[in-house]
Chain A
Amino acid sequence: MREVAVIGVGMTKWGELWKKSLRTIFVETALLAMDDAGVDRIDSMYVGSMSSGLFVGQEHIASMLADYLGQSPVPSARVETACASGGLALRLGFMEVASGMSDVVLVSGVEKMTDVSGYEATYALGSAADQEYEGYHGITFPGLYALIARAHMEKYGTTREQLALVAVKNHCNGSKNPLAQFPFEITVDSVLNSVLVADPLRILDCSPITDGAAAAIICPAEMVRKMNKPVIKIIGSGHATDTIALSSRKDITWLEATYQAAKQAYAMADKKPEDINLIEVHDCFTIAEICVLEALGVVKRGEGGKAAEDEITFLEGKIPVNTSGGLKAKGHPVGATGVAQTVEIVKQLRGEAGERQVKDARIGMAQNMGGSGGSTLVHIFERE
């Protein structure tokens, strides 16, 4: 396998981008990544998109986006594993470059979520759960994570305040990220007094509806060395699945797909959790970050809630988590999220993260999850 590196990244300001179409958001972002990499052409591309069909009524976006990026006839594929689609795009691009099939590959993700009403967006997101055996009974995505949260609180004594602290931390980091949808701080009180969505989760426990894209250019590490640019290598990649229905799992509080994907990534990278300097995790809801940290082996099983309380995951803590602001503050255009995590890790490892820079960051990890945990991608990056 060839060594693979990220040579360019791109992301534009996320939010409710009413003036911009899916293709415009995508092309603006992909061009930023190409400019950052210093390339004007690519060999192939992958686009992560969870549900362009339900959000904008447009399928077949791989060809459309290759065309509008001025890159036809290069091969282009849209890939989908719900909210983990972006992470999957990265993995497939990584495999293509590692195998020697292609040299310069664009990996990207895009979602345009505000062209539909809130109800339709809720429906589209709900299609990542088991439609016949979960959705049929009126459960929503906040509802599924609320079921996990209640079980975690009962089993491990995780508190409502610990959940709130995850959102407070991520907003604090997000306030230092000018591209974030909600770049401002919040307090524990504001979380605890925000409107209930699905008990015990409140609106400030939930990531928002967002329009946005993210892109990265990956290529053989040798090529980056020759160009005298910072070499940010992808040294580990893992991908695993679990049951789509939450109720089918042995332990509702345990994210087995995340555990399995992390195990693969650690083995490939020959690293342990304590070797990692910073992590971007899939905090679609506050409880998700807590469970993910346990499954990644960063904290012991059941101690995810304490991680935020003890501030070990804060920017100045032992292992900063979601320095970008996470899905909570940065926004969550579902298909783009996995690639945006790569953008953040690369900026951090290059020392370009500004006010939120983690000192001496050399090894970073990204965990991107689909549905209630039915798909997970984990990647580990290292600055040479």
Chain B
Amino acid sequence: MTTPSRYWREIPQRYRLEANKCKNCEITFFPPRLICPQCKNRELEPIKLAETGKILTYTVIRVPPHQFVDQAPYAVGIIELDDGVKITAQVVDCDFEDLKIGQRVRIEFRKIFQEGESGILCYGYKFVPE
């Protein structure tokens, strides 16, 4: 269901990890927000996400959505980055048995999936063990 405009407009986040930060309470948001849900402040400044963090929780997807059929099984985790932001992404280049909560990981730029034979190649971030 990815159209060029829908894909293109998320590039700052998926390729360059652009987030923003509330100038008042200093919480970082990814994706960026227009209003801080904590203090309702509307002044937020751009910031780039930290590129390292640790696994908070993870799973191994065995029954995938159709775009991911050729990748299954694959691990997905929620990673807490060193700047406090939590994001969901695949954890790759590791054996599933070695995955554990608290494990250090870093972001790498990878292909995520492709839209069929002739569709868009979709890129973004994945995590690999440090």
Contact = CB atoms under 8 A, between A and B. Distances in A.
Interface of A: 119, 122-123, 126, 132-140, 142-143, 146-148, 150-151, 154, 195-201, 245-248, 252
Interface in B54-97: 56-68, 71, 74, 76-78, 86-90, 96
Nearest to B80: A247
A126 B66 CA distance: 12
Interface in B85-127: 86-90, 96, 101, 112-113, 122, 124, 126
A138 B60 contact: no
B87 A247 contact: yes
Contacts of A143: 59, 61, 76
Nearest to A150: B57
Contacts of A150: 57-59, 101
Contacts of B63: 122, 140, 142, 197-198
B26 interface: no
A138 B57 contact: no
Contact of A136 (B56, B57, B112): B112
A303 to B, nearest CB: 19
A188 B66 CA distance: 31
Nearest to B60: A199
9 contacts: A122-B63, A123-B65, A143-B59, A143-B76, A147-B57, A147-B58, A147-B78, A197-B63, A199-B62
Contacts of B68: 138
Given A195-B62, A200-B59, 15 more contacts: A122-B65, A123-B66, A137-B88, A137-B90, A138-B76, A138-B112, A138-B113, A139-B88, A148-B57, A151-B57, A151-B101, A154-B57, A197-B62, A198-B63, A247-B78
B43 interface: no
A184 to B, nearest CB: 23
Given A247-B86, A247-B88, A139 B101 contact: no
A133 B78 CA distance: 11
B45 interface: no
B51 interface: no
B31 interface: yes
A98 B29 CA distance: 40
A139 B66 contact: no
Given A139-B76, A150-B101, A198 B61 contact: yes
Given A137-B124, A252-B78, A198 B62 contact: yes
